[in-house]
Amino acid sequence: MDARGRLIEAMLDGLAVLLPVECAGCGTADRGICADCRSALVAPDRAGRHLLVAPGAPASGSGDLPLWFAVGYEGVPKEILHALKESARLDGARPLGRLLGVAVADALEAIEPRLPAGARLETLVVPSSRSAFRLRGYNPVESLLRWAGPQPHRATGLRYRRTPRDQASLGADERWANLSGSVEAVSTRLEGRHLLLIDDVVTTGATLLECRRAAECGGASVWGAAALAHTAKVKRTNSELHGDLVSQRVYGGGKGAESNRPRLGRRVLD
């Protein structure tokens, strides 16, 4: 984040504290996130885990990207993240960042022993498109990561070479087409680096897999991804068959997908 972004973030943080506002989680009048919503943001003991697979990837599993995530994208975390992204409610960054920290910690624990001798893992935040950054003045994922606890060195070096359409209204196959080729590595900054990608919400994984493609084109090794939340819910489209095939591979289908959910310290978020 540049100096302007940090300044805007600090000012918005201050405003959220100083001005009377509604709770970002439930909308009741409060000066910030209310006690009930805070108590619903209990960190899970362990992160959930999924394998993200690009369409057309070989069945050998060599193209899989492991994802660690803290919570399902629903309920209070969903509302607070939505407020953070769409209404500059940066007071949500701290509690959500702590949840993201569970996914980051579990990813580090799993990946670091497998790195080549002498290599170090670095985090790399999924970039904001230029238009999204202009609109908000900050990258929401950076805001979360600030509160995600101990973590390794941060790498930068990905950017959008074109602005994709907003993903929210797109079906699974449309997301792949929308993102494909949209990200690029900046010069040689990522050459030889070992990366853990960081995002806020993962649906099909199209964004993360596009970032991995671009990072690998830039000479990096991508070992996995960590996210605050995961959801398998994608808008239904006529070409749903393709999306269903992908999601069965990614999520293991019905019962398996459910058993992969993170184990919560308290079951408030279910």
Residues near Zn ion (CB under 5 A) are 23, 25-26, 34, 37
Q: How far is the CB of 17 from Zn ion (least distance, A)?
A: 16
Q: How far is the CB of 36 from Zn ion (least distance, A)?
A: 5
CA atoms of 214 and 184, how far apart (whole Å): 5
Specify the residue, 23 or 88, whose C-beta has the smaller distance to Zn ion. 23
Specify the residue, 23 or 81, whose C-beta has the smaller distance to Zn ion. 23
Q: How far is the CB of 27 from Zn ion (least distance, A)?
A: 7
Specify the residue, 34 or 108, whose C-beta has the smaller distance to Zn ion. 34
Q: How far is the CB of 128 from Zn ion (least distance, A)?
A: 27
Q: How far is the CB of 33 from Zn ion (least distance, A)?
A: 6
Reading the block at residue 183, the tokens are 């990200």
Q: How far is the CB of 25 from Zn ion (least distance, A)?
A: 4
Length of the chain: 270
Specify the residue, 64 or 79, whose C-beta has the smaller distance to Zn ion. 79
SS3 assignment for 9-41? HHHHHHHHHHCCEECCCCCCEECCCCHHHHHHC
CA atoms of 79 and 257, how far apart (whole Å): 23
Between helix 75-86 and helix 93-111 the angle, nearest 10°, is: 110
Do 247 and 122 meet the contact criterion of CB atoms below 8 Å apart? no
Specify the residue, 25 or 164, whose C-beta has the smaller distance to Zn ion. 25
CB environment 61-91: b (16+ within 10 A), e (fewer): eeebbbbbbbbbbebbbbbbbbbbbeebbbb
Residue with tokens 């068959």: 241
Reading the block at residue 32, the tokens are 């910030």
Specify the residue, 23 or 52, whose C-beta has the smaller distance to Zn ion. 23
